[in-house]
């Protein structure tokens, strides 16, 4: 069982994670994090000396969450096509949040790329985690020479769907787009 200190630290990370997603990193203040986490302002400095340190902890938390999710899928979903379709389903399952705030990885990375390129590299690690996993799935599907390119195409198509669905507040567009992605994946499996 985590100690009280570990639970407080995690509460700060969870609060910052939600704020960075909803408001953006640059529009979230230390005070926002303090209030959302419901910790005394002085206590937050015990755990994190800067907002940048909080961001790095948020990214590490997201990486761990994603890695655990992907490992679980590898363990419980036998076929690579089914694992790829499970990845696509994330978009459909997250429609309300995506329409409200966009993709948590994409919006953070784009925001940081504008003024904080060194922090963008940290956020890019989230995409790298998915890209490597997707590449392995395409490799198993029968596309070892094209696995990286296919993984990048799937990521790009997914991000584009999310952006346009959010811009137009159109859940049907996101649903239709995920169905098209699944048809594309099934077609790739047929021709592998």
pTM above 0.75, yes or no: yes
Please check whether residue 72 lies inside any domain of the structure.
no
Q: Tell whether 35 and 85 lie within a shared domain.
A: no
Round to whole Å and give the CA distance between 60 and 5. 18
Please check whether residue 65 lies inside any domain of the structure.
no
pLDDT digits (tens, 9 = 90+) for 51-105: 999 999 999 999 999 999 999 999 999 999 999 999 999 999 999 999 999 999 9
Residue-averaged pLDDT of the chain: 96
pLDDT digits (tens, 9 = 90+) for 151-164: 999 999 999 999 99
Count other Cβ atoms within 10 Å, centred on residue 55.
23
CATH number at residue 128: 1.10.357.10
Round to whole Å and give the CA distance between 79 and 66. 19
Q: Tell whether 87 and 164 lie within a shared domain.
A: yes
- In terms of residue numbers, what domain contains 134? 77-191
The domain total for the chain is 2
Please check whether residue 114 lies inside any domain of the structure.
yes
CATH number at residue 44: 1.10.10.60
């Amino acid at each position: 069982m985590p100690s009280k200190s570990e639970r407080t630290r995690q509460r700060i990370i969870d609060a910052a994670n939600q704020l960075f997603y909803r408001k953006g990193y640059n529009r979230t203040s230390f005070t926002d994090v303090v209030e959302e986490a419901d910790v005394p302002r002085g206590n937050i400095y015990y755990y994190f000396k800067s907002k940048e340190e909080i961001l790095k902890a948020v990214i590490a938390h997201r990486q761990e969450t994603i890695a655990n999710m992907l490992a679980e899928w590898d363990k419980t979903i036998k076929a690579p096509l089914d694992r790829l379709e499970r990845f696509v389903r994330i978009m459909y399952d997250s429609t309300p949040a995506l329409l409200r705030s966009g993709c948590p990885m994409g919006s953070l990375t784009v925001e940081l790329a504008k003024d904080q390129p060194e922090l963008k590299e940290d956020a890019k690690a989230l995409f790298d985690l998915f890209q490597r996993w997707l590449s392995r799935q395409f490799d198993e599907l029968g596309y070892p020479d094209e696995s990286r390119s296919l993984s990048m195409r799937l990521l790009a198509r997914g991000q584009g769907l999310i952006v346009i669905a959010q811009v137009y507040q159109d859940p049907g567009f996101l649903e239709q787009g995920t169905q098209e992605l699944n048809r594309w994946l099934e077609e790739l499996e047929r021709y592998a």
